[in-house]
Amino acid sequence: MIAQASPMAEQATEKGLGGGLTPQQLVFYRENGFLSPIPAFTSQKARALRASVEALEREYRSAPGGRDLNQYFRVNGHVVLPLLAEMARTPAILDAVATILGDDLMVWSVELFIKEAGTAKIVSWHQDLTYWGMGETDEELTAWIALSDVSREAGCMRFIPGSYKNAIVAHQDTFDADNLLSRGQEIAGIDEGQAVFGALKPGEMSFHHGRTFHASGPNRSADRRIGVAIRYVTPHVKPVDGPADYAMLVRGQDHNSAWINIASPTRPFEPHSLKLYEEILAAQAAVLAGGAEGAVSLYETKTGEAGSRTTEGSI
């Protein structure tokens, strides 16, 4: 099953930016566990955001805090980088997310995913919620925003429709060097013939549920593949493994108090933000490593390598 121009895609284009999802889009998401494409930014804004990301790369070749810049890009970038925190507060994105999750919204993580041109790195079939420590909640989704042309050739995501209706299934840890997931975890026996490709133009985004089976291939294009994944949760989500987790309130109120609330940074790499970053990293790494037989890290630091492993994400 191959994604193609559809009435849903046409509705997204006609709808423009902001205002939430149409009833038809909401039905599609609830039936399939993903939705693509959805407008997030104009193409001009997407180009400007890409330029800002690449400016950070030039300015912070030696990032503060003793870590590689890619560490901050790939794990919880919103804690230390205002650019990523501001993207997570974009009204058009929040309007669309609120259609599914309601008006009380928190951001658990913001991650920049960059696959360099010609890379062989892949992401195997997996479910995001497997190691997040949130259980099998429905009170979350990932918004994945393209800042470059994310075509099939560039290694766009693939989804298995309706798979989120499963519980969390068994994942095998492979620790494969070409697999960007921290444990190289994968779901066996996926029928690739059912996969829907979620290609995106700059400024478009996709949504997917944390139990949706998804994967992505290598970037065989001549350009970098740049995307931003924003993990939205509601205040009703409670950590089921480990201590309280951290999140940033972006709309509405947190009446539940199950989260340690954090504020947006005002400048890149502020000292107090770097300290908070390390605190969050230590807490989340303990949950991620639960039950693993091999060494697990939220990020495998290797200076200058954009293809290092990351959190259980949608790359």
- The answer on pLDDT for 12 being more than 80 is no
Q: What digits encode the pLDDT tens for the residues 242-298?
A: 778 999 999 999 988 889 999 999 999 999 999 999 999 998 887 776 544 444 444
Judged against a pLDDT cut of 70, whether residue 26 lies above it is answered with yes
CATH code at 275? 2.60.120.620
Within a domain: 237 = yes
The C-alpha atoms of residue 313 and residue 208 are separated, in whole angstroms, by 11
In-domain check, residue 93: yes
Residue 302 has what pLDDT? 36
In a domain, 300, yes or no: no
CB 33 within 8 A of CB 58: no
Query: Per DSSP, what are the bridge partners of residue 227?
Result: 113, 146
Question: Range of 24's domain?
Answer: 7-288
Provide the pLDDT confidence category of residue 120 given band limits of 50, 70 and 90: confident
306 domain residue, yes or no: no
Instruction: State how far the alpha carbon of 66 is from the alpha carbons of 109, 148, 274, in Å.
Output: 21, 29, 10
- In this prediction, residues 98-110 reach a mean pLDDT of 98
Average pLDDT (183-203) is 87
User: 177 or 62: whose pLDDT is higher?
Assistant: 62
- Mean pLDDT, residues 68-97 taken together: 97
Do the domain assignments include residue 311? no
Which residue is associated with the tokens 């599914």? 100
Q: Which residues contact 34 (CB under 8 A, 6 or more apart)?
A: 159, 161, 164, 196, 198, 206, 207, 208, 209, 212, 214
Indicate the average pLDDT of the chain.
85
2 is a domain residue = no
Least Cα distance to 26 among 107, 125, 95 occurs for 95
Measure Cα distances from 189 to 133, 194, 210, 227 in Å. 25, 12, 19, 28
Q: In total, how many domains does the chain have?
A: 1
Q: How confident is the model at residue 185 (pLDDT cuts 50, 70, 90)?
A: low
Q: What percent of the chain has pLDDT over 90?
A: 66
> For residues 244 and 158, which has the higher predicted lDDT (pLDDT)?
158
Q: Please give the Cα distance from 70 to 74 (Å, whole number).
A: 6
pLDDT at 310: 45
Is 302 among the domain residues? Answer: no
Q: What is the pLDDT of residue 286?
A: 79
What digits encode the pLDDT tens for the residues 38-51?
A: 999 999 999 999 99
Side-chain-side CA neighbours of 15 within 13 Å: the count stands at: 24
Residue 303 covered by a domain: no
